[in-house]
Structure 1
Amino acid sequence: MATVIFLLSRIIPNIYTPAGMTEADTTIYGTTNGDVRAKVIQEYRQRMGLDLPVFYFTISPTAVGTVLNQYSKETLEEQPWLSQYIKWYNKETVGEFLKSWREWNSTEKTFGKEALLQARAALLGHSESQSSESKKFYGLRFEHVLAKTGHKQPSPSLRNLKNSWTKMVASKAAFSGLIPVFHWHGANSQYHRWLTGLLIGNLGTSVKDFRPVQEKLTEALKTTIPISFFGLFLAGFLSYATGVLLTLYAESFGSKFLKAALYLLDSIPAFLLTLVLFAAFVLAGGTLSSPVMAASESLWASFFTNSTLLLAGVSIALILIPHLSIQIYQSFSQEMSKPYLLTAKAKGVNKFKMINRHAWPNALMPVITFLSEVVIGLLAGVLIVEITFSLPGIGSLLTHSVLNRDYPVLIGVTLFLLAFRTVVVWLTDVAHSWADPRVR
């Protein structure tokens, strides 16, 4: 599953460019700025390891491997048009054109950067053309740029470039050049670096502030863990008490009213319930503490003195109580109609004792299963609560990573949630074997 997440992350738009940037486009950003942007993007890819092959191997047309192996790997500005030309034209003519193009680039001082950037833009437009008219237009523009730079005295590199261009556009790609070929990259790949880092706890670096992802995840968990545990413990305690009361007084008016209140509470959206609790607390004269704890402050000790964390935990409990209470009540109701409890009732055993000593162990199995689903789905409630109270927890971190396109953090949080789900499922199986030895 982790491999699938990695591969999916590599097809996300703009993952190969810094946040807020796209590929250099001289027609929009200007020539100088476009050149700087291309350099920034290339350095970013090298720093993040995104210039390496994605996986241990690649399968590409024969022509691609031949040209790239002969003339080394293409640069950032060559990549878009070179990959297209290899598909269109004969690989030998493409290789000659690439070689003469690089020679001409090295003599930039003789004709100026402006002409070079115009030629790059023409090649890019030519390779991206969807019609023959557009391809012809950009081809003529490229030839016009070359003619303008050499109108006084054409250099040998310029003559070679013109000749290689003419030969290339007149050629056609051979069918043999399109036959797939296997390329092995081994450890020199993005996936290998990512996997080895993951095994030692290195989840990568944030593209937003360049901090380690595991560091940001640890800080977020310091907020999420206490409010989640407190909310879950409070919800479990109150839900058990509610389930027992509903079972003891199943036919009373109070029991019917309590069930109606639970269904009403369950129908209120989580974000609205959190906002109502927040507004009620403030209108009652309460004040919210800073959600950021001091470095010297104990995590659990500060929880009961920090009104923001305490209120967030209560909000999570209110979101969970309706589901858990109804599930516990239904489990008790099913057990109360079974013969062994009817026999105990006929013998005059106290009803409260029947529920706690006899019904609870058997009613616990479906409750454990349901509780595991509640814990796994707890993230939805935590996310809403953390955003409402501006808490820097795991939910807020996930939301901000999506909004900021901070993909390393997004992948790190996703992997953590995947591991968390796996652990919860395993603990559920352990709890089942503890509650009922027959399933061991």
Structure 2
Amino acid sequence: MANFVFRRLLLAIPTLWFIASAIFLLSKLMPGAFGSEHLAQQEAGYYSRSDAASRDHSYRLFLKTTGQDLPLFYFSITSAAMPDTLHRVFPERDRAFLQKLSWQYGNPDAAARFFRSLKTLETDLSETERQQVQEHLYMIYSHREAADLQQATAGIAAKLPATNISRSKNLESSARLLASPSGYTYLLPSVQWHGDQNQYYRWLSGLLQGSLGTSLRDGRPVATVLGEAIGNTWWLLLASMAFATMLAMELAILMVRRSGRMWRSTLLPSLFLLDSIPLFVLAILLLVLLANPAFLQLFPVYGMGYYNAFDQSWLEQLSQWLQFMALPMICLVLANLPYLTNQFYQAVTAVAGQDYIRTARAKGLSEHRVIRRHMLRNALLPVITLLADFLPALVAGAVIIETVFAIPGVGRLLIDAVLTRDYPVIVGIVVIVAVFRLLSHLLSDLLYALADPRIRSHAS
């Protein structure tokens, strides 16, 4: 048995690495970087050039400190028309514009020169001058033909005063160079090696040292942020799983009895109807029916995590915690009860006609003892796998539940991290869920061995 557990743990390590690496790389494919939207909103108003320059400097310093200005992986395969330093261009809209120029004209050097000329000119423009050439700037960023680009740059040169004539002429000349034929460079691949100066290497090195990284929102370690949120989610999922499992088992036993025909005709349609209700609709219905002053307010609607519990005893804290967690637990139990009940019922029904069950009944054993002592033990084997996948699957439901009921847990933290592009927190949550999933599969194997001696002897 010890060798069996050791082999499973050994296989879990590369599996966990693959899952975590895939999520890390996929999360970086999300458009935008942390703080880019905030920077764009600031630039939308009236600010002086010094304010814009200081914001741009602070933003680039933040990207360098967090390593977001580094390439993503050890190597990258792009088109030969793309500049080698495209990953260093921020914010995202400027990077997308330079990428568009490079791909459209197939000349990365000319595209980089035109891009630098344009940004230098925009930096030197006063607010009045910017308003004068706003239409031409819009034409540059949205142009589709080279003729439109040259027309826009010529219009800028005609409207700007002599103080900016050199920069506008430089922009116009770089536009003509950009529009010159460059062949089919964009069809050629370009492989670039970045070495260990990449984001993935930094993240993996920290993970091997036991660090999940640092949150981009508040600068705290991801482990600390997860530790504050995981408590509510853990107890919510554990309690929901326990109640749903016990209730599903009792309902399955009730329907499999000889006198359970009436229960089957009542429970099965009810469970089918309950299973057809989406989780968020079920949560809203519970809020309207059981937390609404206009109907029946038995539970608080929101506010968990905002009350002061320093002057309360542990019993008062538990009572207050249960008030906020009762409706979410009821919602998760009701959402998963139909599927669990059906699986339990099918598993128990499958063994009800076996020879050893008929033998047990022929011995005169009571129906209660036949079901509890003989049917359940042999019906547990297919159910063990179901329960092993049940706890990780509840995490998806917890994301919706914690958002609807305003519970400060991992699900709500995941939503906030995705909306703010806090990549370390996103990856940290996925790593924790993957660890629990692998541990649940290991636990299911151990329960298999305990339930079936044949598996135990084979594993040893």
TM-score normalised by L of structure 1: 0.76
The one-letter code matched in structure 2 to 1:280 is: L
Contact 2:217 2:422 (C-alpha < 8 Å) held by counterparts: yes
Q: Distance in 1 between matches of 2:423 and 2:330?
A: 32
1:366 and 2:388 equivalent? no
Q: CA deviation at 1:116?
A: 10
Q: Distance in 2 between matches of 1:304 and 1:56?
A: 52
Contact 1:205 1:211 (C-alpha < 8 Å) held by counterparts: yes
1:254-403 alignment runs, 5 A limit:
254=263, 256-278=265-287, 279-280=289-290, 286=298, 288=300, 291-292=304-305, 294=309, 302-304=317-319, 306=321, 307-403=323-419
Contact 2:254 2:263 (C-alpha < 8 Å) held by counterparts: no
The one-letter code matched in structure 2 to 1:47 is: T
Contact 1:207 1:408 (C-alpha < 8 Å) held by counterparts: yes
Q: Which protein, 1 or 2, shows the higher relative CO under an 8 Å CA cutoff with sep ≥ 6?
A: 2
Contact 1:93 1:167 (C-alpha < 8 Å) held by counterparts: no
Contact 2:357 2:370 (C-alpha < 8 Å) held by counterparts: yes
- CA-to-aligned-CA distance 1:197-242 (integer Å, 9 cap, x gap): 3333433444444443332222121111112212221222222222
Q: CA deviation at 1:372?
A: 2.8
1:3 and 2:18 equivalent? no
1:418 and 2:427 equivalent? no
Q: Distance in 1 between matches of 2:324 and 2:153?
A: 64
Contact 1:123 1:138 (C-alpha < 8 Å) held by counterparts: yes
- 1:149 is paired with a residue whose SS is helix
Q: Find 1:54's aligned residue among 72, 82, 104.
A: 72
1:218 and 2:245 equivalent? no
Q: Distance in 2 between matches of 1:17 and 1:81?
A: 19
Contact 1:304 1:310 (C-alpha < 8 Å) held by counterparts: no
Contact 2:360 2:370 (C-alpha < 8 Å) held by counterparts: yes
Contact 1:17 1:23 (C-alpha < 8 Å) held by counterparts: no
- 1:368 is paired with a residue whose SS is helix
1:114-193 alignment runs, 5 A limit:
126=140, 129-141=143-155, 143-144=157-158, 148-149=162-163, 161=170, 165=174, 168-169=177-178, 172-173=181-182, 179-193=188-202
Q: CA deviation at 1:179?
A: 5.0
Which position in structure 2 is the counterpart of 1:229?
238
Q: Distance in 1 between matches of 2:126 and 2:435?
A: 52
- 1:58 is paired with a residue whose SS is strand
In the comparison of the two structures, how many residue pairs are matched? 425
Q: Distance in 2 between matches of 1:159 and 1:328?
A: 76
- 1:401 is paired with a residue whose SS is helix
The one-letter code matched in structure 1 to 2:61 is: E
Contact 1:376 1:421 (C-alpha < 8 Å) held by counterparts: yes
- CA-to-aligned-CA distance 1:293-330 (integer Å, 9 cap, x gap): 73698989944553222443333333333332332222
The one-letter code matched in structure 2 to 1:203 is: L
Q: CA deviation at 1:341?
A: 0.9
Q: Structure 2: which 5+ residue stretches go unaligned?
A: 1-18
Q: Distance in 2 between matches of 1:284 and 1:90?
A: 68
Instruction: Work out the percentage of aligned pairs sharing the same amino acid.
Output: 28
Q: Distance in 1 between matches of 2:281 and 2:106?
A: 61
- 2:38 is paired with a residue whose SS is coil
Q: 1:39 to 1:366 in 2, by over 3 A?
A: same
- CA-to-aligned-CA distance 1:239-274 (integer Å, 9 cap, x gap): 222222222244453554344444444344434444
- CA-to-aligned-CA distance 1:112-148 (integer Å, 9 cap, x gap): 7679989999789647631122111133245447883
Which has the higher mean CA deviation after the structures are superposed, 230-239 or 255-264? Answer: 255-264
Q: Find 1:238's aligned residue among 228, 243, 247.
A: 247
Contact 1:270 1:381 (C-alpha < 8 Å) held by counterparts: yes
Which has the higher mean CA deviation after the structures are superposed, 188-197 or 198-207? Answer: 198-207
Q: Distance in 2 between matches of 1:266 and 1:99?
A: 56
Q: CA deviation at 1:51?
A: 1.1
1:8-157 alignment runs, 5 A limit:
8-15=26-33, 17-22=35-40, 32=49, 35=53, 37-60=55-78, 88=105, 126=140, 129-141=143-155, 143-144=157-158, 148-149=162-163
Which position in structure 1 is the counterpart of 2:257?
248
Contact 1:100 1:160 (C-alpha < 8 Å) held by counterparts: no
Which position in structure 2 is the counterpart of 1:428?
444
- 2:76 is paired with a residue whose SS is strand
Contact 1:80 1:127 (C-alpha < 8 Å) held by counterparts: no
Q: Structure 1: which 5+ residue stretches go unaligned?
A: none
- 1:20 is paired with a residue whose SS is helix
Q: Distance in 2 between matches of 1:5 and 1:121?
A: 42
Contact 2:216 2:422 (C-alpha < 8 Å) held by counterparts: yes
Contact 1:247 1:333 (C-alpha < 8 Å) held by counterparts: yes
Q: 1:53 to 1:299 in 2, by over 3 A?
A: farther
Q: CA deviation at 1:284?
A: 5.8
The one-letter code matched in structure 1 to 2:304 is: P
Q: 1:125 to 1:388 in 2, by over 3 A?
A: closer
The one-letter code matched in structure 2 to 1:139 is: T
Q: CA deviation at 1:376?
A: 2.8
Q: 1:48 to 1:350 in 2, by over 3 A?
A: same
Q: 1:210 to 1:92 in 2, by over 3 A?
A: closer
1:186-205 alignment runs, 5 A limit:
186-205=195-214
Contact 1:239 1:324 (C-alpha < 8 Å) held by counterparts: yes
- 2:36 is paired with a residue whose SS is coil
